[in-house]
Structure formats: C-alpha cells, structure tokens
Amino acid sequence: MILVFGSLNIDLVAQVPVIPGPGRTVLAPSYQTHFGGKGANQAVAAARIAGPGRVRMAGRVGRDGFGDSAIKNLRANGVNTDLIVRADEPTGCAFITVDEAGENAITVASGANMTASAADVPAGLFGSDTVAVLQMEVPFAQAWEVARLTTSASGTVIWNLAPVPETMTAAMVTELLGVTDYLLLNEHEALDAAAAIGLASLDYEAAAADLARTGNLTCIVTAGAQGALALTAEGTRLHAPAPRITPVDTTGAGDTFVGAFAAMLSENVSLQIALEVSCEAAALKCLKPGAQAGMPIRGAIGSLA
C-alpha cells in the first residue's frame, strides 16, 4: 500500500507574460482552477501509475466546496480517501502564476493542512508493505510521526523535502534523516539540507552523497533537464536522463516524479528503473497545464511498455 500523508489544495492559476516581482502588477486575461497540494499531487501521480485502490491519502480539508471537490477528484483518480478528515479551517489554496516559458511562482495559503495529524492514520494500517510518502506542507512533527510508525512496522519511507521551511533547523533535518529510506529533493533543496546540518558540500551531487552517508539512506536529486541522480549510503551513484521536451507548464513535475517513484518502489523494481520511469513521467507532465490534470497514466509511459 502507498500511503500519502500531506497537503490538499485548490490551485488558482493565471497565465502571465512575466512573473511579477516585488511592487509590480501584471494582468492575466483569466484564471483556471486546478486541484493541487503536494500530498494530493503525489497521490494522484502514484495512483495513475500504480492503479486504483493502491494509494491511500491522509490529510485534512475544510468543510467547504473546495474540500468537497478535492475529495471527489481524488476518488475519480483511484485514490482511497477514507483517511481524509474535515477541519474547521478552510481548504488549502495555492495562487500560481505561469509565464510564457512555463516557469511558475507559487504562494500557498495552508488552511486545513496545518491541522493534519498522524492520529488520523490507524496504527493497524502500518506494515512491511507500506510505502509512506511525506512532504513539508503539513506540520513537521505529524509527518515525522507517520514516518516513525512506518519505520517501526518495517515499511518504507519516501520523504520529499519540499518546500524547504524558512525555519528549517539542524535538529529537524537530523530527525528527518533518521526515519527516511529515500530522501527526494531538487538541487537547491539538497544544498539547503546539507548546509542545515553543517555539511559544506561543493555542489548538489556532493550534498546528496553527504546526506546519504550521514542519514544511511538513498538520496535522490531531481535536476530538471539534467535528469535525476541517486546516491546511496554505500556510495553507489545512479543517473537517469530527462527526455528532451519543450515544457508547457512545470507545475507539479516534481510531485509527479515523487508519485511515480513511490509507485515503482511498491512494485519492487530496481532503483535504476524507478529513476527512469519517474523522469519520463515528470517530463510528460510538463507537456500539459495543471498540477494534476497533466499527470500521465501508466500506458503513456514508454519505460513501462
């Protein structure tokens, strides 16, 4: 079972000529509403590849129309939503601007996500076949507890260190490394995490190697057009290239990678194949707008043909 514990949002997306800087206003002709939240994104990405009934989502939404829509959408994508709890706070909302090159800037109003609790997941659901997927858009202590429970049950923990908190401390990173099997991050997040615990890494590959060795885990860095790199605690280095594409919208590409990676781990494929499938899935997502709407189904991924 793939258990995703994390955020659920509604995304309001505007296409703009350029992403505005401080004090600047740009006009967009309209906006679109999409389903988002890193947790929900990763759950959908995993379910579209692993298949219906293989993914359970745990998190919180408000008692509002956005919450109704978010749950309905997850179910439509084959995600089990029995663990999603209604909170008094409003459903999380993300405000996204996308420029003509497909790059994005995102502001998130967390809402109900900040009330997510590890207690929402019954202890009996944790087992050796559990692949837990975590991010940084819900309270850290609650995500850590889900990771601890998974580890105690001999399950597998995938932690996507994104977004990096402004208040990330050395203790937080150390605690995270202690309950994680696969740490997934981008180049900047790798350097930030290494620096937080006093590792003077020269580049993101060195940072990944340092984090893998320090945490006795596998560290995977996504590097856009350069593909993905995996460093194990023993020093093994694996690389998967990224398909050459012209992106339409990169929103959700990282989450697609994480979800695809979780799906592959749940099928016990090799780390190399998991990297290759995840890179292809992330690239395919970039060809379509919207965080979840553009995520590929299993049949679209040539690596799985």
Task: State residue 256's pLDDT score.
Answer: 97
Q: What's the pLDDT tens digit per position in 19-60?
A: 998 999 999 999 988 899 999 999 999 999 999 999 999 999
Of the candidates 64, 68, 120, 255, the residue annotated as catalytic is 255
User: Could you tell me the pLDDT band of residue 202, with boundaries at 50, 70 and 90?
Assistant: confident
- Residues making up the annotated binding site for substrate are 9-11, 37-41, 137, 255
Map out the domains of the chain as residue ranges.
2-7+38-91+114-295
Task: State residue 240's pLDDT score.
Answer: 96
User: CA 281 to CA 261: how far, in whole Å?
Assistant: 9
What class is the 2-7+38-91+114-295 domain?
Answer: alpha beta
99 annotated active-site: no
- Residues making up the annotated binding site for ATP are 186, 222-227, 254-255
- Residue 296, CA atoms < 13 Å, CB-side half-sphere: 23
Would the pLDDT of 305 be above 70?
A: no
Q: What's the pLDDT tens digit per position in 244-289?
A: 999 998 889 999 999 999 999 999 999 999 999 999 999 999 998 8
What is the distance, to the nearest Å, from the Cα of residue 90 to the centroid of all Cα atoms in its chain?
A: 22
User: CA 35 to CA 293: how far, in whole Å?
Assistant: 8
Angle at 96 (CA atoms; ends 294, 131), nearest 5 degrees: 55
β pairing state of 55-62 and 79-87: parallel
**Rounded to 5 degrees, what are φ and ψ at 72?**
-60, -40
Residues 6+ apart with CB under 8 A from 68: none
- State if pTM tops 0.75: yes
User: CA 79 to CA 190: how far, in whole Å?
Assistant: 30
Q: Which of 175, 179, 209, 173 is nearest to 192 (CA)?
A: 173
- Residues making up the annotated binding site for K(+) are 249, 251, 285, 288, 290
Residues 6+ apart with CB under 8 A from 236: 230
CB 30 within 8 A of CB 97: no
Would the pLDDT of 96 be above 90?
A: no
User: Could you tell me the pLDDT band of residue 291, with boundaries at 50, 70 and 90?
Assistant: confident
- The residue that leads in pLDDT, 116 or 11, is 116
